[in-house]
Chains A and B, each alone.
Chain A
Amino acid sequence: MASSDEEIVVGDPAAPPVDSPPVASKRSVELVVYLCLLGLAALLAFDNWRTGMGWESTGPKAGYFPFYLALILAGASLFGIVKELAARAKDSETFVNRDQLGRVLQVLAPTVAFCLLTQWLGLYVASFLLIAGFMALVGRIAWWKSVATALVFSVLMFVTFEIAFDVIMPKGPLEALLGF
């Protein structure tokens, strides 16, 4: 018979509290996004106008299609802006609260650092540092476990991609030292 009574429980030591103060409302984020898109649309429309958005003897020029798409994008963004401005500000939901933002940055910042490190140290060393650091510092997992996991994962990736599947990744001084 199925042993359905056994439970699986996974804790979250760094879980954010539920009642954290809001940082931004959904409405304001939406407005910012629409404004950015509007700016982008204007930029792209200008660029495509410069490329040539008209017709020539053989049909539309290179800028024709994207020019009108930029206009559609601008129109839809404007509609969004008007709609959000017309809605009452009070009713807006929270986009992100302070603890949530903190948690997102906890992933985003190491990811940015990882991308930077990949440029200097190569992908495999950077991934070792990312995994070990993230597990230990953010996940509060014992150092030895973090380092061991990171080492196994990075080596496994190296063997899989570099050796077994011939997919070339950015490499750095360590790999050069090892003769790859």
Chain B
Amino acid sequence: MEAFSLLLYGFGVLLTWKTLALMMVGLILGIFVGVLPGLGGPNGVAILLPLTFTMDPTSAIVMLSCIYWGALFGGAITSILFNIPGEAWSVATTFDGYPMAQQGKAAEALTAAFTSSFIGSLVAVLLITFLAPGIASFALRFGPPEFFAVYLLTFCSFVGLGREEKHKTLISMALGLLLAGVGMDTVSAQLRMTFGWSELYRGINFLVAVIGLFGISEILLTMEERLALRGHAASISLRVVLRVWKDLPRYWVTLIRSSVIGCWLGITPGGAIAASFMGYNLAKRFSNDKESFGKGRIEGVFAPETAAHASGTSALLPMLALGIPGSGTAAILLGGLMVWGLNPGPLLFVEHKDFVWGLIASMYLGNIVGLMLVLTTVPVFASVLRVPFAAIAPMIVVSCAIGAFAIQNAMFDIWLMLVFGVLGYVFKKIGIPLAPLTLAMVLGSRAEDNFRLSMIGANGDLRVFWSNGLVGSITTLALVLLFWPAISRAIALVRK
């Protein structure tokens, strides 16, 4: 029940006019960003981050996380009405969502998408509310070896379980860790990899890289494609909403299954993309009527949307409890935390109760308000797509530049952003994943610090990573996951 009273406390923090107004602003900006082609969750959050620099951390995180919820809701609008997935995790939503729109059932599809997003998020937030404090207080006992082992586990599971080619994931991760190391070494205060270039002394800022990698590169990619689009306009009437909601209990198995998949893949770095496809495929496999999937079945909208949102939300659990982001967007929020002067990790729950519980409460409220908002304003946001891309593209470029400059007041960062933009464009096109790079950049220096602190504590003996049951099992699990492809192949061979 302690979680419950703390949650009430969180609502208390939240319920001021200023915070509520920021929440609305965040949601509207987020939906806007989600609907616009070439922008989505991580980009939107990265670009709008500078708006929050002068706010107090609680208002800042509330607004940023609302941008994220808004973007998640907005992504569904374009998937269903225009067959354009705003994000990779909305791809599965188009399978049945767009056919429904074509059959004149756009309003039903949208209601189903928004409602299931809401349910998915709600399950994940409940999980965060009741699980995160426990995990955090457990993690308070962690020392440097344990933390390093957890970081290692995160990195290894990305390499071992990711769907991309292993060497590409490895490249992305090693590059990210190297970039994180540029500048002043925090332990010995020596300069590294700066080549005497004074601009590099302060290091390569993670957020500058993110704005380039996600914002600028996305503009380049979007521009490359044909920008003509054709789709349906839709408005949602109360009658449709009530009809869809009345049928909702019939799909409880699908909703629960997708929520569980989503939460699991969100906490482990499987991610929302895998979750949405898995949710969809499992719903199809367990259905009595497999043929009707892909032809406009409402269950085909429920399943991926619930899973994607459960995953997107639960990715914040490891971020809050351990300081380890479960997704690209969570990594950016984590970057924001550091800008606002907070130290991510289990101590957040002790030292910054306002912040943590305000954020958790805002997840509840943000999702409810977001649901109401999208249900009532779909036509407005769908017509945002009428704005020509030639007007939007330069505005996004300007916003990115503002964002990059604002972080450290450095012109050099604008150039750096541009370099990362081109890099992101090339990497995306040849299939080098960007998520590991993002994660490595944000965790890199802390992983290294913890490694070196462990080494100092153990006089350079690597056996410290197996010195007790906890750290030993985490390290071993990390290595197993790293070599998982080889291990699973070996198991398959033995079985034969």
Contact surface of A with B, Cβ cutoff 8 Å: 1-12, 14-16, 26, 29-30, 33, 37, 44, 47-48, 51, 55, 58-63, 65-66, 69-70, 72-73, 75-77, 79-80, 83, 95-96, 100, 103-104, 106-108, 110-112, 114-115, 118-119, 123, 127, 130-131, 134-135, 138-141, 146, 149, 153, 157, 160-161, 165-170
Contact = CB atoms under 8 A, between A and B. Distances in A.
Contact of B227 (A15, A72, A76, A153): A15
Contacts of A80: 167-168, 171
Contacts, number: 230
Nearest to B222: A107
A66 B430 contact: no
A69 B448 CA distance: 11
B466 interface: no
Interface stretch (B104-112, B262-270, B290-298, B320-328): B104-112
A3 B388 contact: no
A119 to B, nearest CB: 6
14 contacts: A1-B240, A8-B81, A10-B228, A10-B229, A51-B192, A55-B460, A62-B190, A66-B177, A69-B178, A103-B223, A104-B220, A114-B398, A130-B398, A161-B402
Contacts of A104: 220, 223-224, 425
Contact of A134 (B231, B390, B401, B429): B390
Contacts of A59: 452, 455-456, 460
A74 B175 CA distance: 10
Q: Is the interface of B mostly helix, strand, loop or mixed?
A: helix
A66 B398 contact: no
B193 A169 contact: no
B142 interface: no
B337 interface: no
Nearest to B415: A115
Given A83-B167, A127-B394, A127-B401, 19 more contacts: A2-B234, A7-B230, A8-B81, A8-B385, A9-B229, A11-B228, A47-B193, A51-B192, A62-B188, A69-B177, A69-B178, A75-B170, A110-B394, A127-B398, A131-B391, A135-B394, A161-B50, A165-B53, A168-B409
B107 A165 contact: no
Contacts of B170: 72-73, 75-76
Nearest to A137: B390
A119 B410 CA distance: 11
A80 to B, nearest CB: 5
Interface of B: 50-51, 53-54, 81-82, 101, 104-107, 167-168, 170-171, 174-175, 177-178, 181, 185, 187-188, 190, 192-193, 195, 216, 219-220, 223-224, 226-237, 239-240, 382-383, 385-386, 388-391, 393-395, 397-398, 401-402, 405-406, 409, 411, 414-415, 418, 421-422, 425-427, 429-430, 432, 448, 451-452, 455-456, 460
Q: Is the interface of A mostly helix, strand, loop or mixed?
A: helix
Given A6-B232, A47-B195, A80-B167, A170 B411 contact: yes
